[in-house]
Amino acid sequence: MSGAIVKRTPFFKILIANRGEIALRVMRTARRLGYGVVAVYSDADRDALHVREADQAVRIGEALPAQSYLKIDTIIAAAKASGAGAVHPGYGFLAENEDFAQACRDAGLVFIGPSPEAILAMGNKAGAKEIMQKAGVPCVPGYQGADQGDAVMLTEAKAIGFPVMIKAVAGGGGRGMRLVADAAAFPDALRSARSEAQGAFGDPTVILERAIVDPRHIEIQVFGDRHGNAIHLGERDCSVQRRHQKLIEEAPSPAVTPELRARMGAVAVQAVKAIGYEGAGTLEFLLDRAGNFYFMEMNTRLQVEHPVTEAITGLDLVELQLRVAGGEPLGLKQEDIPFSGHAIEVRLCSEDTGHDFMPQSGTMARWQMPDAIRVEHALQSGSEIPPFYDSMIAKVISHGKTRDEARGKLICALEQVTAFGVTTNQGFLIDCLRHPVFAKGEATTAFIGNNRDALLAPRPDRGSDLALAALLLYVTNPHAPPGQRGRSLSATFPLGLRIDLGHGVQEIEIVPERDGSYVATRNGDRFSFAIDELDQDSIRFHHDGLMEQAKFLRDGDRLYILHRGVTLSARDLTLAPPESASAAGGDGKVRAAMNGRVVAVLVKAGDKVAAGQPVMTLEAMKMEHVHTAGVAGTVSAIDVAEGEQVTTGKIVVEIEAAA
């Protein structure tokens, strides 16, 4: 099944058919090895950092991926126009598209990845399972037939037995994947999975698998060359996930013994040798409590989490990709691969964990990353995070002699991340790393689901957070007279504030004392502060006998604070009119919860709906999000059409409340 060996000419310039942090990651190694680099960009990315950092950049279309980063002919033309001799696909978009790899070959371009034949064989989940089954590799029971009819799929799901997983045959990253508990929920889940797969990969085909209860998600990193050599670089544990998308990855896995690593690695190497695989690839397995492992799929590309493997092996995986693509042998034997220490990576995402991980877009007003740890990102203060692409905005990677050391370093680094302007999962990641189950190395794919309440519990010191926000709003009052910033505006005169920290409007009173200190009072609770130092973006103060510090950004009535490793976003509503029931949809108007594209209107004018009933599905950052009716009643108007791009807060459906 291996592809024909094609004579390839040397290349000196590489076009990176991707965006963001992976584009910059590939650029870094390519330049170190002496290659020129070319970026491509959509209209949404015109001012992106990967565009400015490249030697050349070519516009490839409008914002939506289907109009830019998924346009094969346009990207090939960009490579030709720039004089690039090779194309690196990164991950996502066209990285596992055999037509793209074939188009590069036909155009005389080196595709930095496996052959089109290998991508077709292993990149398709159904085809890969057939190959593994023939090779005697244990696979999860399921259905990967050509008949995709709704009735057939439901019959096969019942035969497999619920719960079942619906999985897109193309791509990865959790898109087009649904866990279905029973037959009643199957039709809607199938429609949604197909729609999401079509939007993300251009292919709605899905397979079905039996859901393995509470497994570990273990993947083996492999490399092959055109000379018949193949090796594995150990495993990564990617069990901590939400919506089937990885959030935390580590190497090695706390659950994998040296003996199991050798067995899984041997299976992986045997598989890639069987198809003459060339380049980087990853075989993914489910590991059950009894130590049995089942093949799930192969990713025929570089993985998001490749830095943890680089950390424990000392190898540059992008360099290996470039050398193999240039025709060089790997130059490594299995026994030569070193494994040193432990590495953990977290994915910092622009999402609101308190609202079902809703993706967030907008302007990152202030962006500062810690210096003493590896961070992969493509942002700077003022960068725009568009709603059209993945919500991951950075990867933070730690390496230590032991797992505990790596975990501690990563927590400390995350506490220093300054991300003001767009809500992220920073605090949630810290809570995951601190959780006793993760700390003991016992997290499975059920970790977030089983511990959701604890991980998303409100902070116990909300009163202290509110008091600090009130203090900073008071001392950074933009209407203070010149030279009075940070000083008492009117000594001992109390000021009542109405503040929203994201969980409802709270009232608090702050009083400047004659000695220069401040007292914040709320419901009889008193919080005293003495300011030691106040700069434009940081404050050092005494509170409860402790000297503390915080970073902040004042932007009109919005205040961002980084304190004790937690980012707070406060709104000063003191002068604002009270919010009406419309904010929660109580006025019968359903509003878009984010910038995104309408992929399904689930009701029509005249329909009677119940409160909480799904009425519209919006796609943002490559994931689908169902919007529901806020009240029971009759649909009086549909204000959007399928395919329309909408902005946050736009009215999409109107409902006349039942009497």
Catalytic residue numbers read 301
From its phi and psi, is residue 603 left (phi > 0), alpha (psi between -120 and 50) or beta? Answer: beta
Helices assigned H by DSSP within 460-581: 462-475
Helices assigned H by DSSP within 275-369: 306-313, 317-325
Helices assigned H by DSSP within 18-97: 20-32, 49-53, 72-82
Whether the CB-CB separation of 595 and 646 falls below 8 Å is answered with: yes
Whether the CB-CB separation of 633 and 645 falls below 8 Å is answered with: no
* Burial grade of 264 (CB within 10 A; 0-12, 13-18, 19 or more): buried
| CA 544 – CA 530 distance, rounded (Å) | 10
Whether the CB-CB separation of 175 and 623 falls below 8 Å is answered with: yes
Within 8 A by CB and 6+ apart from 502, the residues are 354, 569
Largest CA distance in the chain: 83
Whether the CB-CB separation of 435 and 454 falls below 8 Å is answered with: yes
Q: What ranges make up the beta strands (E) of 518-632?
A: 518-522, 525-534, 538-543, 546-555, 558-563, 566-572, 589-591, 596-601, 608-609, 614-620, 623-628
| CA 308 – CA 323 distance, rounded (Å) | 20
Task: Give which of 519, 495, 490, 492 is closest to 507, Cα–Cα.
Answer: 495
| CA 230 – CA 227 distance, rounded (Å) | 9
* Burial grade of 480 (CB within 10 A; 0-12, 13-18, 19 or more): middle
Whether the CB-CB separation of 293 and 264 falls below 8 Å is answered with: yes
**Is the preceding peptide bond at 460 cis, omega within 30 degrees of 0?**
no
| CA 500 – CA 579 distance, rounded (Å) | 11
Whether the CB-CB separation of 179 and 165 falls below 8 Å is answered with: yes
Within 8 A by CB and 6+ apart from 588, the residues are 630, 631, 633, 636, 654, 655, 656, 657
Residue 497 vs residues 336, 551, 569, 573: alpha-carbon distances, Å: 64, 21, 15, 8
Whether the CB-CB separation of 528 and 517 falls below 8 Å is answered with: yes
Whether the CB-CB separation of 210 and 161 falls below 8 Å is answered with: yes
| CA 616 – CA 637 distance, rounded (Å) | 13
